[in-house]
Amino acid sequence: MDEIKKALVEADPFASWWPFLLAGIVFVIGTVRTYMGGQPCPNGNAVPGRVIIVTGAAGGIGREVCRELARRQAGCLILACRSTEQGDALREQLRRDAPDCVCEVRTIDLRSFDSVRRFVRQVQTQHPVVDALVNCAGVIFQPGGRTADGYEQHLQCNHLAHFLLTELLRPQLARSAHGGRIVHVSAHGYTAAKIPDRDDPLNLRQAGQSGRDAFAHSKLAIVLGGRALAGRLAADGSRTTVNCCTPGLVRGTGHLRHSPIMRALFAKVLTFPWMWLFMKSPAQGAHTIVRLVTDPELGRSNGDFFNDCERVEVSELARDDELADRVYRASLQAVGLAAEPDETVRTVREKNE
Ligand SMILES: NC(=O)c1ccc[n+]([C@@H]2O[C@H](COP(=O)([O-])OP(=O)(O)OC[C@H]3O[C@@H](n4cnc5c(N)ncnc54)[C@H](OP(=O)(O)O)[C@@H]3O)[C@@H](O)[C@H]2O)c1
């Protein structure tokens, strides 16, 4: 013991460069991680008594959104999940974390419009008022061909099903005393999307799109559809608002579960350090969404796009109001809310029969 004490007393840290080098490395890693983690939600506003629906609630980011909203005293969280087991597990966790928050687990499968309609009917019977809808569920590299309704998987799961859900819940959102809030979760990848034919803004006639292209297009459709809806809500004098956001690049979620590269163990091992360094945690990925739901300062924000909790400019294509209107009208057609289906949608339905 004495020897150790003596060695510590005599130790001279300035005799070597190693301590400086180590401190420098720790500082750089810490700075990179803090920077890449993005700006946290700048406030801790509570939302007592509010009824909030979150799709993809049991997913990596959705789960963190629910945990934070429960912590901020949400009155009732409706956990829209594909599987009841996952939803029940989350409800148990939320019950422990925030016993006063009522959590309802409701199943929804975004690959089926019937399932979305069933979900909405259940919500409507219990909740005449909905304060916020967070459309967080999403897929990428999804295998499995067309959905039961005959659409490309990414288009339906990411955009069309959420579009239908939002349209059907508009009356409930309009009754919110706080101004209903719709939050669409898009992705920065929308900037890579293409719409080669403006007469076919949902790319229904584009055969053989790759998973990556279909994902990008679906996330652009979310932004354009949201922009058109924002204009309509404002024109109607509604207090409901709709905004889009990207959570950023988030590690540790199920998002890349179908990625052909990330399924390989060696790719997971190789990318782990980079993901740890450069990507957000699911809790950090939830911040922008939480701000959009909770911040009173954003009560009038409508048709905007947020990244790292701040409003940002969207790409030129996503600013195209005429294209946004086309996406909106085509989506109404595709989900069966338009009075008369047009030719493209009729073709999809005939192929599906
Ligand atoms: N992680 C990222 O880096 C990143 C980047 C940009 C954007 N995003 C977006 O952020 C959102 C959340 O992603 P995440 O990272 O949290 O991924 P995740 O862990 O895979 O969560 C996605 C959620 O969506 C649900 N979902 C998928 N298909 C569904 C369907 N047909 N019906 C109902 N629910 C369905 C999943 O449920 P199951 O577990 O039952 O499949 C899961 O709960 C997504 O919209 C994603 O596109 C993520």
Whole-number pLDDT of residue 208: 85
Map out the domains of the chain as residue ranges: 46-338
Nearest Cα to Cα of residue 106 among 87, 89, 125 = 87
- Per residue in 271-287, pLDDT tens? 888 888 889 999 999 99
Distances (CA, A) of 7 to 2, 19, 21, 245: 9, 17, 22, 56
Class of domain 46-338: alpha beta
SS3 state at 65: helix
Q: Kindly give the distance from the C-alpha atom of residue 173 to the centroid of ligand 1, in angstroms, as a whole number.
A: 23
**Cα Rg of the chain, angstroms:** 23
Ligand 1, pocket residues at CB < 6 Å: 56, 58-62, 82-83, 108-111, 136-139, 157, 185, 187, 246-247, 249-250, 253-255
Question: Which pLDDT score is estimated for 203?
Answer: 96
Nearest CA to ligand 1 atom 44: 138
How many whole angstroms from 157 Cα to the centroid of ligand 1? 10
What pLDDT shows up at residue 155?
Answer: 98
Q: Smallest Cα–Cα separation from 250: which of 332, 138, 156, 164?
A: 138
**Which residue ranges of the chain lie beneath pLDDT 50?**
none
| Continuous segment of H or E residues that includes residue 236 | none
Span 59-100, pLDDT tens digits:
999 999 999 999 999 999 999 999 999 999 999 999 999 999
Query: Which of ligand 1's atoms lies nearest the C-alpha of 55?
Result: 34
